[in-house]
Structure 1
Amino acid sequence: MTFSEHNRSLFGPPSTELPKPPVPYTPGWRFQAQSHTAPAPTPVIQCGCINSDHEMRERNQQSLIDRCLRHPPLPGKEGNGAVSLEVIDILKGGDGHSSQVFTARLLASDSKPEILPQKGTQLVAKIYDPLYLNDSEGYLNPFSCVDKYYTHEANAYLSLHEFQGQWIPRYYGSYTLSLPVDSVQTRTVRMILVEYIQGMTMSHAQPKDFSQSARQSILKSIVDLESRIYHADIWLIDVEPRNVILRDPDSDLPRVVFVDLAHALFNRRRDDPLALQLEYFMGQYISPLLRWTESRSSTEAFYEWIDWDWDPWLEVEFAHTAASITPEMREEWPREYEEAESS
């Protein structure tokens, strides 16, 4: 029995679903968004984005559009600034995506010049729209999901401001916009704007097109950057090829940029009671020699890029970090890893 069949057996057949309006995020679409301060990151707990029985019952009894009106985004704080944008090209979008990501041309802004670049600049907009999120046949709560993605990504960019412009895109703020439902009603979605990075994601690149030395340089940069962000007490649990852009991919030493911070864990952990009791050495640098060994499966997502013995290479490249490892770290770290793997 599939999840949807189980769902129907519990709560009866779903209501007649009204057709979704066409996805508005298409090339040429122009819109305005108001500046918005995101609320604090939502708590991350086990099953936190999974529908409860009550929520599944609601899903079967109400149209998704009505539910969007009933469950607006978390409030945050609306600002005085506004931007006007025109969609240029879709990077990831359409029905069935966790977010809508596209390049957009900045048409106008009443924000201070130091906050946004000049008019005509190409930016990347990311909209968190529950109407088009794939809820896995009712398994996921789309409203909890987009609240989590928006609050975590917006706050992660703010927390990692010293990495912006080189290791992660420059961040141009968070916004809110209203979309028409009918002639009277509108619904609200949130958005962030970031720098457009020239290059290609590792998922679109072919490892065979890069020399071993270039691939080693790329992986060393990934390990180093992830570890430095972890030092800032943020754990990026979604570091994988689709979220790593290679700047200057044709050069001998491509540079890496991390994108998609929606799954960032603050304080290096989830917010379950057990996790809150663990010692994570907050504010301290944790050597990759502890966290990036082959046995910890840290490199699993990049296996196509690695054709050398990982652990000996790691020990050489990050030997300078060994002195930072304390006996307490060696004792504690396996416990953290086991907790992460069981989540």
Structure 2
Amino acid sequence: MSEPNSRRDDSIDPIRSWSPPFEPLRPPVPYEPGAKLRILRHIPPKPFGGRYPLRDGGRLPVSLNMLRQTTVVDLCIANPPLEGTTLPEQSRELEVIELAAEDAFGAQLFVCSLDDGPETYVAKIYDPMYYEFRDPGADDLPRDVTYTADGDYSREAAAYEHIEATQRFCGTQVPKYCGSWTFDLPISLPTGTVTRPVRMILMEHIHGTTMLDFNFYNMSETKRLDVIARVIETHCRLLHVGLAHKEASQRNVMIVDSMEEQDMVERVCLIDFHSSMVYGIYEEVDQGRQLPELPPSPVDFWWDSGISMFGNWFADWDDIEEAWHHWLTERYGNSVEFGPSIWAADGQLRFGPWEDEDVQQDAELDGDDFHYSAVEKEQRLPAHSTAKRNRTDFEGDGSETPLELRNHKAMTPGNHGCSKGKEPERSKQNDQPLPSRSILGHISIGVKDYDSAKMFYSALRPLGLSLVYDSEAEGPSSGTRTLGYGPDKTQELLNIFEYGSEAHAPGRGSHVAFNAASRRAVDKFHEKALVYGGTCDGKPGIRSRYGPNYYAAFVISPDGWRLEAVCKNLE
């Protein structure tokens, strides 16, 4: 095989390595404090990309062959955003005040003011020049940042316009929307100076903290549950008015808490709608869709995914799964504000308005069972299956009395909710099959800190690995503190040993890969790993160079170990 740079034709050598090119013409990020921009009101084109269908007049990504032979500067000049409609009579002067959030992979967020006024806003700027050129799902491949940025803008603007039209959410559960805009930036090229258009939206400046960064350790359980309830209720209410958020995670929830002595926070707000989908924009998407009178039940949408998204917020519960299901059932099982759960009290699947097959396919949400048809769901989880519990499972266990979660421990850093003397049960949501006999017996990993490792490796539960051994379960031991993970107590596949400063992870080229039963399990593992202290090393996605169905995600543990979850099933 020739050297990587010996030829330019990717079709001849499709798997050669790639790294971001040298970009001598790319200017520094212009959005520094004090920078001023003349912005014009802009009506974006119809949303595209993501879950939206491909339409004439839209655009496709630049081919991988072309991407591997270009620079970001050339890509941005050759592929400006779709036109939409610019309204030059509506212009404002924007001044950048400070960075609001840093995201090397996507849009840029800045706190700003308009026309020298005292009020501050957040500008979300979809400038592909400063998107990460490296594909976050495959770090040795490029991505079309112009297609990504333009799609992000079109989808997020469509979502906010739809929400604003409902007159129900903006300024409360969702940031107040201040419109979509465009501006021009100059760039110097060898052939002269040219201008390029950049799109953006303006939003209310929320003076709060993301749920991911929020310090909840000293909050009462009532207050924590209030936050979680408001998140999942907003999610379901938005779906009811025709908007699927599709990016539910702690980093996309803002919390304003100025009432520290109260049992509720001041405000809980969903943000970041760049992955969302609005029903009704395209006739095919909306055809036959009849919304029920009430929003869908949070019991159905959050039965499983709530554990992975909010698990660290109630890590002091002895049995997180049971307590979560108990709370959901008590709060929403007979709610008059939400529709009935499709799971009836007798454990039988109930066919309802949210079970329409077209709606299910259109409203597929990350981390829930909504994308299964009613028949598939019944086959997957038959009545009284141990894979999914229902209200009858709580009879005689406090379901007829006020909610009381038993055996709580103090919520303090380092206490991750494993009771002394109690072996954590294997997840009842596990659809991971037990592995057959393998030549590989187990893997051992050295870590610096037992407590942080115990928290982080609980992210393996979606992959079928639970904590099956804990040297400290019966009290402090005199030896090396050890954790063991496996599908059950007879198959301990991963051992964790605390060695303090002597523990070192291997360098690049070494990693541990875990098979997942579904792509959904890969997504859950990735999200939980980031919540529990890991670092993203590759978002969930297809790695086509390994195979057409190779769906994987990569994370780096707090101790530097690179871990992969992969599903090779056709879905």
Q: Same fold (TM over 0.5)?
A: yes
TM superposition shift of 1:57: 1.9
Q: 1:234 touches 1:268 (CA, 8 Å); kept in 2?
A: no
Q: What's the offset of the Cα at 1:305?
A: 0.9
1:160-219: per-residue Cα shift (whole Å, max 9, x none)? Answer: 112111111111111111111115201111000011011111111122131111100001
Q: Name the counterpart of 1:147.
A: 150
Structure 1 segments unaligned to the other structure (5+ residues):
109-118
In the alignment, structure 1 residue 36 sits paired with structure 2 residue 42: yes
Secondary structure class of the residue paired with 2:335: helix
What is the correspondence of 1:1-343 to structure 2 with a 5 Å cutoff? 9-10=13-14, 17-45=23-51, 55-79=63-87, 80-93=89-102, 96-107=104-115, 119-135=117-133, 136=135, 137-161=140-164, 162=167, 163-182=169-188, 183-248=192-257, 250-251=259-260, 252=262, 253-254=264-265, 255-267=267-279, 282=291, 285-294=295-304, 297-307=305-315, 308=317, 309-318=323-332, 319-321=334-336, 324-325=340-341, 327-329=350-352, 336-338=370-372, 341=520
Paired AA for residue 239 in structure 2: Y
What is the deviation of 1:123?
0.6
SS of the counterpart of 1:328?
Answer: coil
Q: CA shift at 1:45, angstroms?
A: 4.6
Shift of 1:11: 8.3
SS in 2 for 1:41: coil
| 8 Å Cα contact 1:84-1:106 kept in structure 2 | yes
* Bigger Rg, which one: 2
- Stretch of structure 1 that moved more, 281-290 or 327-336: 327-336
After the TM superposition, which of the residue ranges 139-148 and 122-131 deviates more from structure 2? Answer: 139-148
Tell me which moved more, 136-145 or 200-209: 136-145
User: What's the CA shift for 1:234?
Assistant: 0.8
Deviation at 1:278, TM superposition (A): 10
Deviation at 1:38, TM superposition (A): 1.1
Is the alpha carbon distance of 1:231 and 1:246 closer, same or farther for their aligned partners in structure 2, counting shifts above 3 Å?
Answer: same
1:266-288, Cα deviation, whole Å (9 max, x unpaired):
2399x9x9xx6998754652111
Percentage of pairs with the same residue: 26
8 A Cα contact 1:127 1:192, kept in partner: yes
Match of 1:112 in 2: none
Equivalent pairs counted in the alignment come to 320
Q: How far apart are the structure 2 equivalents of 1:266 and 1:71?
A: 26
Q: Cα distance 1:249–1:212, how it changes in 2: closer, same or farther (>3 A)?
A: farther
Whether the aligned pair in 1 keeps the contact of 2:75 and 2:146 (CA below 8 Å) is no
Given the superposition, is the C-alpha separation of residues 277 and 250 from structure 1 closer, same or farther in structure 2, using an over 3 Å criterion?
closer
Taking structure 1 as reference, are residues 331 and 30 closer, same or farther at Cα in structure 2, changes over 3 Å only? closer
- Secondary structure of the structure 2 residue equivalent to 1:159: helix
CA contact (8 A) 2:48 2:154 kept: yes
When structure 1 is superposed on structure 2, of 246-255 and 61-70 the one drifting more is: 246-255
Does the aligned pair in 1 maintain the 2:42–2:182 contact within 8 Å? yes
Q: Write the deviation string for residues 83-108 of structure 1: whole angstroms up to 9, x where unpaired.
A: 111111102247x3300101001126
Does the 8 Å contact 1:172/1:195 carry over to 2?
A: yes
Aligned-residue offset at 1:16: 5.8
Counterpart contact for 1:32–1:85, Cα < 8 Å: yes
Q: Secondary structure at the match of 1:214?
A: helix
**2: CA distance, partners of 1:299 / 1:231:** 23
CA 150–323 in structure 1, closer or farther in 2 if over 3 Å, else same: closer
Distance 2:22 2:238 in 1: 47
The SS at the match of 1:172 is strand
Secondary structure at the counterpart of residue 141 of structure 2:
coil
- 1:282, 1:139 → 2: CA distance? 41
Letter in 2 for 1:328: F
Specify whether residues 268 and 235 from structure 1 end up closer, same or farther in structure 2 by C-alpha distance, changes over 3 A only. farther
Displacement of 1:290: 1.5
The CA deviation string for residues 301-324 of structure 1, in whole angstroms up to 9 with x for no partner, is 221112451111011111215764
By percentage of residues, which structure has more helix? Answer: 1
Contact 1:36 1:77 in 2 (8 A): yes
TM-score by length of 2: 0.51
Question: Secondary structure at 2:30's aligned position in 1?
Answer: coil
Q: 1:20 to 1:47 in 2, by over 3 A?
A: farther
Change over 3 Å in CA distance of 1:28–1:277 after alignment to 2:
closer
Distance 1:47 1:324, change over 3 A: closer
SS at match of 1:337: coil
Q: What is the CA distance between 1:59 and its match in structure 2?
A: 1.8
CA separation of 1:16/1:133 partners in 2, compared to 1, >3 Å: closer, same or farther?
closer
* Aligned residues of 1:174 and 1:193 also touching (Cα < 8 A): yes
Cα separation, 2, equivalents of 1:195 and 1:288: 28
Change (3 A) 1:282 1:40: farther
Are the equivalent residues in 2 in contact too, given 1:235–1:268 (CA < 8 A)? Answer: no
Q: Work out the CA distance in 2 between the residues paired with 1:175 and 1:167.
A: 23
Q: Which amino acid aligns with 2:161?
A: L
Deviates more, 1:15-24 or 1:64-73: 15-24
* Higher RCO (CA 8 Å, separation ≥ 6 residues): 1
